């Protein structure tokens, strides 16, 4: 039976380190790590995410600012706000909550954020640094960064000799996950909807990362015995057993089916999810250290 990887506990360890390091930075330099979160419109899921990020930032002792803009905000107005935040020395991390309304070009907004404050890791400069192995100065997207930390806890930082398969090729998870695994010396394959014999490919993986957005797609016969399985998927499916109209969260991996085969496995919820916000706090702390000319902590 697989070891269940407790993302909630590991995230709490990261946050504890962030709190201690932030307090030390404030004491030594007088600089309080600052994060600005920008949300445009009334999307309920985005409202929940933004509120949780704000709470976590305050818990870490950060200066936390939220800009809530109406749905009809123009692209140029949003660009001006981001440029103002770029110039604000009290703000070290800028996060623009996605998705944005359809009339706003998300790409333009993301590329407007200063690469030094891009704690989401989406700016082309940070993408390029990750792709060329410049991990010391890159900001890495928080979900793959958190997933990598879970893998580190199970297998260590050096993955030499291990085969990894990433199912999913998104810019937010799949591609950065590929680059992180490669930087840790794994032999990495990215699989996707056009991959031939996907189950067979997955069965060769010592490390299997599922980030495809299809509920419970990966079954036991897709998994190599003893493999470490990281489930990035968050899917809501009907749960009639809980009552009419009720739903429940599941991942891209069929947890109950895969658990007897895998060596280690993340649950959904409670696996990768908590790591995402924890790594956002870590990235903001790193940005504050860099702005102060101090060596940032490692996670």
From first to last of the 299 residues of the chain, give the pLDDT tens digit.
899 999 999 999 999 999 999 999 999 999 999 999 999 998 888 888 889 999 999 999 999 999 999 999 999 999 999 999 999 999 999 999 999 999 999 999 999 999 999 999 999 999 999 999 999 999 999 999 999 999 999 999 999 999 999 999 999 999 999 999 999 999 999 999 899 999 999 999 999 999 999 999 999 999 999 999 999 999 998 888 888 888 899 999 999 999 999 999 999 999 999 999 999 999 999 999 999 999 999 99
Instruction: Give the length of the chain.
Output: 299
Q: What is the pLDDT of residue 238?
A: 86
Q: Which of 241, 246, 244, 209 is nearest to 228 (CA)?
A: 209
Report, as residue numbers or ranges, the catalytic residues.
Answer: 53, 97, 120
End-to-end CA distance of the chain: 28
Backbone angles phi, psi at 248, to 5 degrees: -145, 160
Instruction: Give the residue ranges of the annotated binding site for NADP(+).
Output: 168-170, 234
Q: What are phi and psi of 289, to 5 degrees?
A: -60, -45
**Can you tell me the distance from the alpha carbon of 29 to that of 27, in angstroms, rounded to the nearest whole number?**
6
Determine the pLDDT at residue 38: 96
pLDDT computed for residue 113 by the predictor: 98
Q: What's the CA gap between 28 and 15, in Å, rounded?
A: 20
Which CATH code fits 142-274?
3.40.50.720
**Where along the chain do the CATH 3.40.50.10860 domains lie?**
29-114
Start and end residues for every CATH 3.40.50.720 domain found in the chain: 142-274
| CA dist list (Å): 264 to 13, 85, 148, 227, 292 | 19, 41, 14, 7, 39
Please give the pLDDT value at position 93.
98
**Which pLDDT does position 71 carry in this prediction?**
95
Binding-site residue ranges: 168-170, 234
Report the top-level CATH class of 29-114. Answer: alpha beta
Beta strands 247-250 and 235-238 are: antiparallel
């Amino acid at each position: 039976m697989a070891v269940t990887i407790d993302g909630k506990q590991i995230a709490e360890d990261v946050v504890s380190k962030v709190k201690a390091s932030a307090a030390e930075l404030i004491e030594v330099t007088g600089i309080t790590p600052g994060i600005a979160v920008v949300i445009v419109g009334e999307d309920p899921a985005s409202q929940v995410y933004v509120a949780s990020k704000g709470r976590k930032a305050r818990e870490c002792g950060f200066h936390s600012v939220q800009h809530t803009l109406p749905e009809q905000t123009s692209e140029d107005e949003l660009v001006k706000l981001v440029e103002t935040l770029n110039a604000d020395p009290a703000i070290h991390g800028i996060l623009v909550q996605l998705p944005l309304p359809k009339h706003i070009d998300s790409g333009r907004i993301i590329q407007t954020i200063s690469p030094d404050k891009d704690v989401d890791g989406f700016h082309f400069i940070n993408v390029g640094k990750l792709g060329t192995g410049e991990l010391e100065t890159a900001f890495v997207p928080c979900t793959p960064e958190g997933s990598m930390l879970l893998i580190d806890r199970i297998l260590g930082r050096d993955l030499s000799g291990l085969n990894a398969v990433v199912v999913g090729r998104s810019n937010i998870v799949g591609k950065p996950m590929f680059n992180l695994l490669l930087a840790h010396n794994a032999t990495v394959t990215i699989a996707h909807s056009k991959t031939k014999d996907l189950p067979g490919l997955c069965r060769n993986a010592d490390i299997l990362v599922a980030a495809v957005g299809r509920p419970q797609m990966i079954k036991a016969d897709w998994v190599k015995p003893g493999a470490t399985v990281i489930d990035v998927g968050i899917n809501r499916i009907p749960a009639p057993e809980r009552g009419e109209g009720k739903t429940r969260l599941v991942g891209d991996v069929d947890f109950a089916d895969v658990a007897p085969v895998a060596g280690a496995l993340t649950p959904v919820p409670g696996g990768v999810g908590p790591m995402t916000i924890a790594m956002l706090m870590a990235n903001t702390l790193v940005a504050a250290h860099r702005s102060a000319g101090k060596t940032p902590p490692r996670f």
